[in-house]
Amino acid sequence: MESEELRDEEKKDKKKSIKSIILIIVIAVVGVIAGTVGTIIGNKFTHKTEPKTEVLEVEKKYNKDEVSVPLEEFLVNLAEGQDKETSYIRIELSLLTSSSKNAEIITSNNEVVRDSIINKLRQKDSASILADQNGVNKLKEELRDQINKDYGSALVREVFITNLVIQ
């Protein structure tokens, strides 16, 4: 009799443990579903689309038809400064043009571009580039103007300095 009671208790314990396991699984599944739904709803109401407006502002600045033409590195001696020391500049540039046709012109007449840039850089001293707060921006404008002058047309829209070392 006692063994029957033990068996009955074991069966009841097994049923209780199975029910407990099923209950835990159901609660876990409901919790995961509730968390997922809550996250989706929360993200929908809290996230704004402000980054898209910033991207639009960048897109307005440069036209999609414009092409950037990277140039090989320049290593040029600069003019003597007030300290009578000769410095050199190592610079890498990219030129922004209004069309792929202009990019082809720059690529095919690379010598004219390089000559214009080297001649302009040889006239500069390190202080004129580095000492002034707008020295680098002035240099970019002067390079653009010199290239366009030597070509005889507004071929280059903007000059980007991608690497600059003066020593």
pLDDT one-digit tens code per residue, 56-71 = 555 556 677 788 999 9
Structure tokens at 37: 């739904």
Alpha helix ranges (H) inside 47-153: 50-61, 100-108, 110-122, 126-130, 135-151
Helix (H) or strand (E) holding 156: strand 156-166
Task: Give the pLDDT score at 135.
Answer: 85
Domains by residue range for the chain, with CATH? 67-166 (3.30.479)
Ranges of the chain with pLDDT below 50: none
The whole-model pTM stands at 0.61
pLDDT one-digit tens code per residue, 98-109 = 888 988 988 998
Which of 148, 72, 153 has the alpha carbon at shortest distance from 107? 72
Measured in Å, how far apart are the chain's first and last C-alpha atoms? 101
CB burial class (10 A; 0-12, 13-18, 19+) of residue 48? exposed
